[in-house]
Chains A and B, each alone.
Chain A
């Protein structure tokens, strides 16, 4: 059972990572003058879109999503609607946090918001996919004994890695090196993306090596 789940997770992550890769390569081929630094926003959107689409598809296909209580169409629709609302709210939340951390308030609001969208699609979207639109469940997952399945543990690791990466990404901004990746928000989004990819690789590995220690209560 363990091997099965870990293998599923590894392949899921491989697909998501591949989608990130494709979202970087394909526009580079199709759009003239595309570069990660130069047309950063475009890259952000393409990556966010790709990650969103692929995650939703993969998690839906795998059926990891938290089981719905009712199976009526109306309930499903309202769930979908609430997910969208949460997605948007989470964008706003990240935007606020980033501004509080020192991002310019008005000047580059679009850049900041794009970073918020990226962060949302890397973290909140995963929460939505795995846990459904329930903030309480999200809060519960991020505690020591809160994980109830391998996927929850995986979620913990990837989200923490992404957030940590974005946080670390802010460090080079004040340095006077005048590099293109020091421009706001390039370093942060790159940091988040690198953190996310690290999480994607690290989560299955960590779970594999700690599978003896991990015990979950039934859902």
Chain B
């Protein structure tokens, strides 16, 4: 078979897709331009003429500040409700805040603190130190955060000589390398570790506070966030953690001096499941608590208190309170309640009045806006001119008021505030900047790639023949191009069109899991309906009148038809059943209001009810067992477990061993941490060793399948006769002038014949029965191509299951069942429509099964608990086998990617099975037919048909792959179109952009796995050729 052309064509198409995706994404996800200027003390921010610059020299209101950042401190955690008699684990655990607010209202206040999405820790740290708005593309940097180059608070503190001491989350260290006076970073990556960071901080915090070696102290606690990730907020561990934090805040407050400001804040909130990253209110609303032993708030709480404090507002407020310039690119506005409404007498520790603070703030924002609009043209010109004119009006009014000396009108402050708010809103609206040229180019390349795939799939035979007569090529091309236009209207492609159209609507993307299931079910039901419409589903016999000329000559006997349609319908039932059951494994998006995420999604260690835990465990083990059993059963059925090759070894021993590892790993990771204290060493060892052993086994298995993929067993007794000179009546030997090629044509059918007998035999095997039958030679030759592929899928499936929560084993079992059902439906419908084996049909795989296959891949993406949102990424996968975290970023990223795109990978690797299965199933059909109407020897050659027609094999493989790539590629194209068309849509960052990213990465995973599967098939082909050469040494093929 011509492997290289197939592979190179596919590679070329994939490369084209990748280029298209790269171009589009490059144009779609642009980063906001960073302004690399910094504010200095010399900036003339004060009204001209009043004071000669440099306000750093003025006495600041606070000399020192303590920033306690409690990661994921949601506002709900911070509130205290004395009437709540039965608080949940996360409620009423921080009474210190409420006590202080009610007892000393002028010293402290608590506000909701609203973060800007994305609510991931690194973006938040960036946000509340620079005061700018994060952009979408930053999300990807969470694994390797790099230093902040923009002007920020830490830099400004350093400029005026304040000593910043930092302790806690080591993300800060990578964001601000060498900026701290002293730094005590602790590893943050291990989400399962609730205590290392917090305990590390507490060891040093109080000692540092008492000393005089600091001006600004930043302590970032991670325990609450990790507790949320691990157990969710509604768990006793959260209560413990929050109570601990309560104690910390109390101790810190007790040690504060009068010139020190305390800020306790969360960087983001968390959802009910303890995750964050999105933009739902639960994730964005953290808490901020301000306190100082000296009076902090000049006025008592009043109507004008802000309901919510945006996170960017912390930057100018802290800067002005501590007497440093506001960072250059901040777009926040000062928190007014902290400033007195009128300037105090000069003696009272130099505070700025509200109006002055606002003025400085507005001037800084205006300066930033001017600089930014000079660098980039993305802020709409009309809003820019509006903002500028508003500022010049405000500035002249303010200056007039200052010069006049009289009290400025209260409206001025309100208008300054309004100005700052509108700048912020304008910036937020525009910092999703697109480059239409690149986007259009990307779309064009993607469309071209899709068209190319379509052409490739239609012209595959011509392309593979290539060197054939020049006339036939164009003729066939013209023919298939004509067919192409008509072919686009067939139902499977209509379903694909619907699927693509559904990607253009946010509602359908939100309900994608169900929408895909709906389409999959519809297309699956279409198969028997269509067959029935063609009169192929029922045996034609019962109505003799119409049997005559109307139907295509019946290729199958009535009983065979009946059996095939029975299989078809049974498999359809199985498919439908597993589809319905798989709906129970879906996760929930935040937009789906009343949705409950599947119980199987939470890891066993989170379950508190022991009985339920055991039940879940047993269920998972059972499904894993069935997965293995079914696979081995299938391989054994076709006689692929007899030889002693590498692949068979993998199937016989490695696969079960892998499962044992997995089962033990689940058991170990499900044990509650404190139940076996004396065994904790052993448990942690097992947590590390078991998954790693599984990885090794998996690697070994894959290697073996690759190195020795043949699963054919040649009985030694008869193999000797094959190789030896005494071959039974060698007809071809008589004609010596014949070419080796032709020789092989005679020999191969004989081997097939024996192989078929062996298959018959393996069914009836028992005792000495084999002896009574003709000599048996090759077991499993009929499934020589599909067996290694099946084995590869099985091994990969178990390996990917390792990265999922335990409950997903059930879902994986459903996946296997559904795959089997799809393959059988395809095989039966092929057999029923009698297409196969006819020269016209070749081995072509029609569109319907390919579209079904691809839909099933998307469906199981959802049914394994994944969603196209960043919040739903199962980060825990990165810790399987590495409970202590990683040093690099490549390995965890790979693990998480494997977890996320498990179903894409499995289905893409298994895609060539669609080509083999009708051939594999053929043996059953012909045997049944054989009993009814006499033996037909050539019928049972199964996959050896492919070897007989290497050109058709290659073209069918190319066609199948091209079709799969087309189906997957059009979905990428559609979601790219959605992102491009709806780029100003309300939901673009919430729905369409993540969908595009997931679709594109899913395509990447799919195409790579597809190439892997195809390569394996080609590898098997090479091995089979070698095997034949061994049988017939003088034949070269």
Q: CB of B614 within 8 A of chain A?
A: no
B529 in contact with A142 (CB, 8 Å): yes
Interface segment among A11-19, A167-175, A186-194: the answer is A167-175
B535 in contact with A143 (CB, 8 Å): yes
Q: CB of B377 within 8 A of chain A?
A: no
User: Scoring B residues 566 to 600 as 1 if CB is less than 8 Å from chain A, else 0, what string do you get?
Assistant: 00000000001001100100000000000000000
Given known A101-B518, A143-B535, contact A136–B507 (CB-CB < 8 A): no
Given known A174-B508, A174-B511, A175-B507, contact A100–B579 (CB-CB < 8 A): yes
A102 in complex: contacting residue of B537, B538, B583, CB < 8 Å: B583
B534 in complex: contacting residue of A143, A170, A176, CB < 8 Å: A143
B532 in complex: contacting residue of A99, A102, A139, A167, CB < 8 Å: A139
Interface segment among B280-288, B451-459, B539-547, B944-952: the answer is B539-547
- Total interface residues on A, CB under 8 Å, equals 18
Given known A143-B532, A217-B545, contact A101–B507 (CB-CB < 8 A): no
B514 in contact with A144 (CB, 8 Å): no
Cα of A146 to Cα of B522 in the assembled complex, Å? 23
Q: CB of B844 within 8 A of chain A?
A: no
B505 in complex: contacting residue of A100, A102, A167, A175, CB < 8 Å: A175
- Total interface residues on B, CB under 8 Å, equals 29
B576 in contact with A100 (CB, 8 Å): yes
Q: CB of A145 within 8 A of chain B?
A: yes
CB distance from B374 to the nearest CB of A (A): 41
B515 in contact with A174 (CB, 8 Å): yes
Given known A101-B518, A140-B543, contact A174–B579 (CB-CB < 8 A): no
CB distance from A134 to the nearest CB of B (A): 12
Report A-chain residues with C-beta under 8 Å of the C-beta of B514: 102, 174
CB distance from B320 to the nearest CB of A (A): 43
Residues 110 to 152 of chain A near chain B (Cβ within 8 Å): 136, 139-140, 142-146
A142 in contact with B583 (CB, 8 Å): no
CB distance from B545 to the nearest CB of A (A): 6
A217 in complex: contacting residue of B505, B508, B518, B546, CB < 8 Å: B546
Given known A101-B518, A167-B522, contact A145–B507 (CB-CB < 8 A): no
Cα of A100 to Cα of B546 in the assembled complex, Å? 35
A144 in contact with B508 (CB, 8 Å): no
CB distance from B653 to the nearest CB of A (A): 40
A143 in contact with B533 (CB, 8 Å): yes
Q: CB of B550 within 8 A of chain A?
A: yes
CB distance from B803 to the nearest CB of A (A): 29
Cα of A170 to Cα of B514 in the assembled complex, Å? 12
Q: CB of B517 within 8 A of chain A?
A: yes
Report B-chain residues with C-beta under 8 Å of the C-beta of A175: 505, 507-508
Cα of A88 to Cα of B1018 in the assembled complex, Å? 54
Report A-chain residues with C-beta under 8 Å of the C-beta of B515: 174
Which of chain A's residues has its CB closest to B522's CB?
A167
Residues 50 to 82 of chain A near chain B (Cβ within 8 Å): none
Given known A174-B510, A174-B511, A175-B505, contact A144–B534 (CB-CB < 8 A): yes
B521 in contact with A100 (CB, 8 Å): yes
Report B-chain residues with C-beta under 8 Å of the C-beta of A102: 514, 517-518, 583
User: Scoring B residues 409 to 428 as 1 if CB is less than 8 Å from chain A, else 0, what string do you get?
Assistant: 00000000000000000000
CB distance from A185 to the nearest CB of B (A): 15
CB distance from A164 to the nearest CB of B (A): 11
A–B complex contacts, Cβ < 8 Å, 29 sampled: A99-B580, A100-B521, A100-B579, A100-B580, A101-B518, A101-B521, A102-B514, A102-B583, A136-B538, A136-B542, A139-B538, A140-B538, A142-B533, A144-B533, A144-B535, A145-B535, A145-B550, A145-B551, A146-B535, A167-B522, A170-B518, A174-B510, A174-B511, A174-B514, A174-B515, A175-B507, A175-B508, A176-B507, A217-B546
Residues of B within 8 A of A (CB): 505-508, 510-511, 514-515, 517-518, 521-522, 529, 532-535, 537-538, 542-543, 545-546, 550-551, 576, 579-580, 583
Known: A140-B538, A145-B551, A174-B515. 10 other contacts (CB 8 A): A102-B518, A136-B542, A139-B538, A140-B543, A142-B529, A143-B532, A143-B533, A145-B535, A174-B510, A175-B505
Residues of A within 8 A of B (CB): 99-102, 136, 139-140, 142-146, 167, 170, 174-176, 217
